[in-house]
Amino acid sequence: MKKTQSHFGRIGQIAYDGAKSENALAFKHYNPDEVVDGKTMKEHLRFSIAYWHSFRGVGSDPFGPGTIQRPWETGKDAISIAKTRMDAAFEFFTKIQSPFWCFHDRDIAPEGRSLAESNKYLDAIVAHAKQLQKATGVRLLWGTANLFSNPRFMAGASTNPDAHVFAYAAAQVKKALEVTQELGGENYVFWGGREGYETLLNTNLKREQDHFAAFLQMAVDYAKEIGFAGQFLIEPKPKEPTKHQYDFDCATCIGFLRTYNLHKHFKLNIETNHATLAGHTFQHEIEVAAAAGLLGSIDANAGDMLLGWDTDQFNTDVKELTLAMVSILKAGGLGSGGFNFDAKLRRQSTDLDDLFIAHIGGMDAYALAFKIARRILAEGKFEKFVADRYSSFDSGFGKDIEKRKIGFKELEKLVIGKLGEPTPKSGKQEYLENLLNQYVVNGA
C-alpha cells in the first residue's frame, strides 16, 4: 500500500471511543487492544472482512443494477483495476482494525478465457495480496472457490450430472487451495454453491451425494500432498440458489460427513442467516456443531425475519449474539476460525462512510455480546440452573442410564415399585428469559 494514497479521504483509522461516544465513526464496545484474560480483544474475536460483499458488492438485486459506485474502480485493464481495488481493501482492513480477510478466487481476480488464463490472473493478484498482507499484517482467515457464478456450474459443481464439470470444479479448487496456502490461509471453506437440486425429476440424489463426498476426499488428499495445514470447513445452507441444498444445516452436514467418513477432516462454518433460513436459531446451529465437536468458524450476519431469503445484513442484535457467544465460549471458542462479516450494505447505503459504519456496528455488537457472555459464564447462574435440572442423572438409576448399565426391565421394576409417578418440575422459562434480559440491559 502506497502511504501517500488514501482511498477513503478523510476517514482515518477507527478508534475505540467508549460506550457513550456519539461519533458514528468510532467503536463503542470493540477496543481491539483491550486485554481480556491475557489476550487482546482483536485476538479473541478474530474479525474478518468478506471481500465479495465489501469490495465486489454493488447493491444490485434481481430488479435492478448496482447503486454503489466506488472511486477506486478505475484502471487501464481488469488486472490493474483488481490491484487498485485490493489496495483499497487492505487500507479498509487496516482502518477498521480487522486482523483477517476472506475471499473467493473470482472475487479477487478476473476470470480468463480458459482455466490456464484464469490461473495466471489469479497468480498476479495473489502476489499483490501477499505484499499487502506483509505490509499491513492482515492475515487470511480463509479462501474458497466460486463454483456457482459461471454458467458452466448451473447444475452444480461436484454434484453436476456432467463429469466434465466435476473435473473443471476439481481443477479450480486445486488452484484455490494452492493460493490459500500461499497466502497463509488458516482455513479453507466449502459452501455448496449450487450443490443441490431444483427437481428430483432429473436428479439422481444418491449419485450426486456420492460425487460430492468423492470431491471432498480429493480435496483432503490434495491438501495432504501439498502440506496445506489449514482447517477445512463446510458452510451449511438449506436453500438458495437451489431449491434444496445438500448441506441443509449442521445436523445434515454432520450426518453426511460421518456417512462418508470425512468428519475427521472437516468442521462447520455457521452463518447466522443460513441458520434462520433452515428454521433454526443461530445458537441452535452452534450447539449442534459443538455437540459433535465440529464447531469451526462463523459467518457473521443476520437475516430479516419477514423475508425468506439470504439478506446478509450486519447483525446488531446483542441478545441473539450474547446467546451465540455463550455457546461458543462454552464450546472452547473457535480455534482457527473467526467472525467473518459475510454481510453487505443495503442497496440504499451508497456512501463510503456506510461501509465503515456497518462494520463498526457489527464489531461492537459482537464485542459487547462477548463481554456479556463472559459475565454470564463467570456468574454461572444459567449453567447452575441447567446442571440442577439434570441432576437426577448424576446418581442412582439416572447415572446407571447414562452409564448404560440398566435396561427396560429394571426401570419398569423401579417405576412399579418405589418410584411411582414423577413430580412435575418447572422449566422456569420466563424466569430465565427475564434473567437474560437483565444481563443484556446491564451490558458489559
Q: Is residue 189 within the footprint of ligand XUL (CB under 6 A)? A: yes
Is the CB of 122 or the CB of 440 nearer to ligand XUL? 122
- Hunting for cell 467508549 — which residue is that? 18
Shortest gap between Cβ of 45 and ligand XUL (angstroms)?
18
**From Co ion, ligand XUL, none, which one binds at residue 189 (CB under 5 to 8 Å depending on kind)?**
ligand XUL
List of E strands, 64-128: 100-104
Q: Is residue 191 within the footprint of ligand XUL (CB under 6 A)? A: yes
Distances (CA, A) of 140 to 136, 331, 337: 12, 24, 11
Catalytic residue among 29, 104, 128, 280: 104
Q: Is residue 285 within the footprint of Co ion (CB under 5 A)? A: no
140-179: contacts with ligand XUL (CB under 6 A): 144
Closest by alpha carbon to 381, among 438, 441, 321, 423? 438
**Known catalytic residue: 263?**
no
Q: Is residue 342 within the footprint of ligand XUL (CB under 6 A)? A: yes
**Known catalytic residue: 107?**
yes
CA quadruple 66, 67, 72, 74: dihedral sign: positive
Q: Is residue 342 within the footprint of Co ion (CB under 5 A)? A: yes
Distance CA 354, CA 345 (A): 7
Is the CB of 160 or the CB of 297 nearer to ligand XUL? 297
Site string (242-271) toward Co ion, x via CB under 5 A: -----------------------------x
- Hunting for cell 465440529 — which residue is that? 294
CA atoms within 13 A on the CB side of 129: 30
193-222: contacts with ligand XUL (CB under 6 A): none
299-318: contacts with ligand XUL (CB under 6 A): 299, 310
Q: What are phi and psi of 74, to 5 degrees?
A: -135, 155
Shortest gap between Cβ of 118 and ligand XUL (angstroms)?
17
Q: Is 302 helix (H, G, I), strand (E, B) or coil?
A: strand
Distances (CA, A) of 381 to 115, 273, 373, 421: 57, 29, 12, 29
Distance CA 170, CA 4 (A): 42
Do β-strands 266-271 and 231-235 pair in parallel, antiparallel, or remain unpaired?
parallel
Cα-based torsion angle of the residue sequence 269, 275, 281, 284 in order, rounded to the nearest 10 degrees: -40
Q: Is residue 271 within the footprint of ligand XUL (CB under 6 A)? A: yes
Question: Judged by CB under 5 A, which of 91, 178, 208, 299 binds Co ion?
Answer: 299
Q: Is residue 237 within the footprint of ligand XUL (CB under 6 A)? A: yes
Positions annotated as catalytic residues are 104, 107
Q: Which residues bind Co ion (CB under 5 A)?
A: 271, 299, 342
Q: Which residues bind ligand XUL (CB under 6 A)?
A: 104, 144, 189, 191, 235, 237, 271, 299, 310, 342
